[in-house]
Amino acid sequence: MLRRSVLAAALIAAAAPTPAAAQQNYPTRTITLIVPFAAGGPTDIIARIIAQSLSQSLGQSVIVDNRAGGGGNLGIAMVARSVPDGHTLLLTSTAIAVNPGLFESLPYDPIKDFAPISELVNAPNVLFVKPDSGITSIADLVTKAKAAPEKFNYASPGVGTKSHLTGEQLKLRAGINIQHIPYRGGGPATQALVSGTVQLASVALAPVEPLIKSGTVRALAVTGATRWWSLPEIPTMIESGYPGFISDTFNALFAPAGTPPEIVALLVKEARAAMAKPESQEAARRAGYQIVAGTPEEMTKKLIAEIAGVKELVARAGIKPE
């Protein structure tokens, strides 16, 4: 009887797929791409671009699952706790790097709980004023703000956004003290500037670009490493006299930590290839992003640097963690 039991167990074990075989067959079912923000937003747009391409290249459906809440923390934590088999992935914005500086405790570790796949895209912020303000450059703004600090304030899409942190970084680097006025989104912040409620605004570039081109607002600088491709006349903050001043918003793809390296390598290959497609590049540009399609090593390096930089900025600016 014992011999039969041992033989049966051996046959079952032989018939069961090995981990290596399971990885070779990946994916075996639908892949869920968690987006920790509401549908229709910038990150959701990028998620749907990559999901469509991965569905084609991997031969399985990739569905986008929007899990908004807690400034992105709800959805990010869901992926951190998921089974690391490549069937649950995370596409998140810079929130994964910003939140460690804004929240006293998090339900995940942004470094230990994830395997970076690729920074897919990024986008700068823009600092802008009304055309009749008499301000034509960052230098003009700083001069006027120092001369009349009680007069100046700036709008952002809300506390803790990269646009808000851009404004605080400017204040610290330039030695000016202008009041932050948070709004619920980039649209209301932009409208506050247009209506004259505030003297300066800092928001993501994409929705403001038509207003810049029409002359409704005047852009002083963009916050990327280089000038924006469709607004070549607008200088960067670096060119405006602030070395190293880069404040962009990335969207990146992650798997849970512990995902088999063979699966991660496949996802890296297919994600980077997806963003190289002309249709993906065109869709990303329409959404206000530039393609990065970086490596896991580059994403890890950027994530570590962003977390450290945001924590330092939050401490220096006196922004209180939630």
CATH code, domain carrying 286: 3.40.190.150
CATH code, domain carrying 133: 3.40.190.10
Domain co-membership, 55 together with 200: no
Beta strands in 130-206 (DSSP E): 153-156, 179-182, 200-204
CB 170 within 8 A of CB 317: no
Angle between the N-to-C axes of helices 42-58 and 261-276, in degrees from 0 to 180, rounded to the nearest 10? 110
Instruction: Give the pair of three-digit tokens for residue 318.
Output: 């006196």
Domains: count for the chain:
2
What is the phi/psi pair of residue 224, to 5°? -85, 180
pLDDT tens digits for range 265-293: 999 999 999 999 999 999 999 888 999 99
End-to-end CA distance of the chain: give it in Å, rounded.
Answer: 64
Confidence label for 317 from pLDDT (cuts 50, 70 and 90): very high
Domain co-membership, 144 together with 68: no
- In three-state secondary structure terms, 66 is strand
Answer yes or no: pTM beyond 0.95: no
Print the domain residue range for 300. 30-122+249-317
Domain co-membership, 216 together with 266: no
Domain co-membership, 117 together with 128: no
Domain co-membership, 255 together with 109: yes
Query: Tokens 């301000």 — which residue?
Result: 135
Rg of the chain (C-alpha set): 23
pLDDT tens digits for range 58-75: 999 999 999 999 999 999
